[in-house]
Amino acid sequence: MAENRQDPESPTPESPRTDGAGPAGPGPRHSAVRSLLRLWPYARAVRGRLAVSVTAATLGMLSTLAVPVVLGLIVDGPLAEHDLAGLWPLVGLLLVLGLVESALFYTRRVVLARPLAGLETAMRGDLFAKLQRLPVSFHDRWGSGQLLSRATADMYTMRLFLAFPLVFLIVNSVMFLVGTVVMFTQDWRLALIALAPVVPLFVLTRRFESGYSGAARLAQDQNGDIATVVEESVLGIRILKAFGRHRSMAERFRAQSQELRRTELRKAHLLANLWAVIVGLPEIALACALAVGAYLVAHDELSAGALVAFLSTALALRWPVESLGWLLAYANEAATATDRFFEVLDEPDTPDPGTAAELAAPDGIRLTGVRFRYPDAPEDSPDLLAGIDLHIRSGETMALVGATGSGKTTLTALLPRLYEATAGTITLDGRDIRELPRQRLRELVAVAFEEPTLFSATVRENVLMGAPGAGEEQLRTALATAQAGFVEKLPQGPDTEVGEQGLSLSGGQRQRLALARAVVGDPAFLVLDDPLSALDVHTEALVERALREVLGTTTALVVAHRPSTVLLADRVAVLADGRIEAVGTHQELLRDCAHYRELMSGEAVLVPEGSSA
């Protein structure tokens, strides 16, 4: 990313990552329990239903443990004594236990379904709200697929953990403890044999957890990388097809899919090894217990019913033991998903005063000693903006010109605080923009970017995004100013859906709607980044004529690349080497500034890659 920063006006897509590390690094690794405990503030809202679910599942499991006791009574009682009359009540009791177990497990699922869906919605809402608050510099560092995977797949993983694995980690632990007590009451010798694998299994699961956690995190990050590739391919499908690059993109996707496949196979290998031991050791222990039990029965040291009851109890504990591998695996998946979720929520917000501040006397826009460098730029690289001093008088339109890569777009992004200046101050009518709440600042400063972005919404919704409280008359005026008469010819007029990224419209139409969005709220300060670049000569002339009226009522900074746009301004500022080289009228600069003459004549040389500009 650092190389792209040398030319911020011509960004390139982020290079794919295949190392599994998050854009800001996964942070220090800690236990799965510690990670999962961070979900408690959200889970607190459903703690009552969670307790009911755990209780219902626990009672259901305990009813399972009651079955071996009843079987022991049947073997030593009615069957041993050939008492059919005494058999039926015990058979009926087994039936009741089965029905109770089914009802309790049904209750467990039903009682948690709705609240956990609401919990997932709340968490996703918090994540989305956080993403909207975070500065643009954060989004520059993170791939869109990484954020998308956190808002979808990771949310599902966390919700499913609370609905099933968490409940059964608790329930199975209780069942195992109760079952252990029951086995010791039945015969302590057989219990010791059956429980012999507990210690080696504990050591194995600890080793498994440390290895599986890293693989799970790597797989989730690789899923995010793949999501980024898919999104880029869909949004850039026209470019890929036009240049015949769909095969190379498919190869890139295939390579990342293979990386994910290898990671998933590694996870499967780890889990298979664990399961083999979890299933194998208890089976060997149970076989030994059966052999010893048969010997004790043969020597009249144990009744047949007691042996049946013990073996039935041990078999009932197979599910809690055998499910341990899957539950631990999913717990680690949920823990890494939780880490990824809170990596975003833990990102610091840019300080916001939070209280409205009135502007001072009219003074326009003033930049004093403004410096800026991107956070991910190499340490030894110079600042992109190296001390900007500029005063745009109140009611004045200032054109900003400079070679490609000189930092014009970056400078305009500092005014609405899309980026924070590294040093220096920026004031609007005498008020430091850092003292203004962001909402108030962005009501005062309207922006139209060179690359117009539209959303999957109607024309009306896209334009009124610049002034949500604007009425129909303001909408029509803004569309007229931007010469967007084509809107009336759309199927539903202003209520026509423009499609994702507005790709159903031409580039010029999108740019005119973006311009309408900037002027619809009659902003006090207007920032236009080459707003006419995609227009034909005839439309450009019409827009310029309408823009003159708007610019006459506001204080504006206009990034210009062509003389026609420069002529909209009262004065012109020339940006070079990170500083304002000259300020004056168009005619003055043509006379006195050689660099400006080169820019306006089209003879300017592009800034070399890696230069300070």
**pLDDT at 344 exceeding the cut of 70:** yes
**How much of the chain exceeds pLDDT 70, in percent?**
87
The larger pLDDT score, comparing residue 5 to residue 151, is at 151
Cα 421 to Cα 348: distance, rounded to the nearest angstrom: 17
The larger pLDDT score, comparing residue 426 to residue 115, is at 426
Cα 510 to Cα 448: distance, rounded to the nearest angstrom: 11
Domains detected in the chain:
39-345 (1.20.1560.10), 365-601 (3.40.50.300)
**CB distance 483 to 512 below 8 Å:** yes
Contacts of 475 (CB under 8 A, 6+ apart): 460, 463, 464, 494, 520
Element (H, E) at 424: strand 423-428
**pLDDT at 367 exceeding the cut of 90:** yes
Pairing verdict, β 525-529 and 385-392: unpaired
Compute the half-sphere exposure of residue 195: CA atoms within 13 Å on the CB side of its CA. Answer: 16
Contacts of 143 (CB under 8 A, 6+ apart): 14, 16, 17, 23, 224, 225, 228
Quick one: pLDDT at residue 557? 92
Contacts of 38 (CB under 8 A, 6+ apart): 338, 342
Quick one: pLDDT at residue 584? 92
Cα 274 to Cα 215: distance, rounded to the nearest angstrom: 15
Pairing verdict, β 445-448 and 525-529: parallel
Cα 359 to Cα 338: distance, rounded to the nearest angstrom: 43
Distances (CA, A) of 265 to 209, 212, 376: 16, 11, 34
What does the pLDDT look like over 409-437, one tens digit per residue? 889 989 988 888 889 999 998 888 888 88
Mean pLDDT of 364-374: 91
Cα dihedral 378, 382, 384, 385, rounded to 10, equals 140
Q: Token pair for residue 55?
A: 């209780």
**pLDDT at 211 exceeding the cut of 70:** yes
**CB distance 565 to 530 below 8 Å:** yes
**pLDDT at 91 exceeding the cut of 90:** no
Average pLDDT along the chain: 80
**CB distance 158 to 123 below 8 Å:** yes
Strand partners, 341: none
Strand partners, 529: 559
283-292 exposure pattern, b = at least 16 Cβ within 10 A, e = fewer: eebbeebbeb
CA-closest candidate to residue 252, choices 280, 237, 271, 233: 233
End-to-end CA distance of the chain: 17
Quick one: pLDDT at residue 368? 93
Distances (CA, A) of 448 to 176, 524, 532: 65, 14, 10
Amino acid at 602: G
Instruction: Kindly indicate the confidence band of residue 357, based on its pLDDT and cuts at 50, 70 and 90.
Output: low
**CB distance 470 to 520 below 8 Å:** yes
The larger pLDDT score, comparing residue 282 to residue 244, is at 282
What does the pLDDT look like over 11-54, one tens digit per residue? 333 333 434 444 545 555 567 888 888 888 888 888 888 888 87
